[in-house]
Structure 1
Amino acid sequence: MPDVRKGPFKLVTVNTAPERAKRLIGRLIDGLHDRYDIEHVANCENIEEVSLKVKQHQPNVLISASMWSSEQAEHIRKIAEQEQPGIKTHAIPQGLQVEKGPDAIVGYLVENVPPLLDTIKTEKP
């Protein structure tokens, strides 16, 4: 039976806590694995790394964590789009991790990432 999952998608995160980013995105990937083929290719620990890592990995999607203000998230989005026109970006609402914890982040991503992925055209190898 052919693979009915969409993708593959390359995802980059912007999170000052790389291990937490890896864990939470791992849970997202597990939660969506039956519908989407997602690979977490890199994490940027600061805004300065965004340009290089987007250039290096050419991701389809970039997600900025909830520690960034809306202004910082907008700056991250602009950098990513400059390096990779057509990249899809999503900013987790500021403070969500602190206020509601990691389960809320995973739930938020499982709800909000699929509509984003559905707008991306990918080629099956």
Structure 2
Amino acid sequence: MAPKGPYTLCTVNTAPARAKILIGRLVEDVKEEYTITYLQNAERIEDVKAMCEKQKPDVLFCASMWTKEESDEIQRIAKETVLGIKTMAIPQGLQVERGPDAVVEFLKEKWPGVVGEAK
């Protein structure tokens, strides 16, 4: 059976190199089931709207360094900018407390539910 997708993905992370590595691991781990294209990262909340306008991603992830309020704001901006976008916030502190493997596992576990209705 062919992988589902393709899905386009953007991230909001103050450490873009780390975001790229973690998303790269997610893409590799789920490639049999899903085709994910990683488009861009925004390092600041102020850059989310412009990134979403330019890229029009299917999915946007907020990294774990953001507070609940910041993640809510990022997701609100994304949803107001791109009709039908799916968003998810990685729980605050997950990267610091449990490391990158925990983040990748979280993303793999949540991905099907996040995109369940997309495309």
Q: TM-score, normalised on structure 1?
A: 0.93
Aligned length: 119
User: Could you tell me which of 7, 10, 13 is aligned with 2:8?
Assistant: 10
Residue 114 of structure 1, CA deviation: 1.7
Off by >6 Å, runs of 4+ in structure 1? none
Q: Distance in 2 between matches of 1:14 and 1:108?
A: 16
User: Could you tell me which of 22, 25, 33 is aligned with 2:23?
Assistant: 25
User: Could you list the runs of 5+ residues in structure 1 that have no partner in the other structure?
Assistant: none
What is the match of residue 96 of structure 2?
98
Give the number of the structure whose alpha-carbon radius of gyration is greater.
1
What is the match of residue 86 of structure 1?
84
Q: TM-score, normalised on structure 2?
A: 0.97
What is the match of residue 34 of structure 1?
32
Q: Distance in 2 between matches of 1:101 and 1:41?
A: 24
Q: Does 1:57 align with 2:55?
A: yes
SS in 2 for 1:82: helix
Q: Distance in 2 between matches of 1:88 and 1:117?
A: 7
User: Could you list the runs of 5+ residues in structure 2 that have no partner in the other structure?
Assistant: none
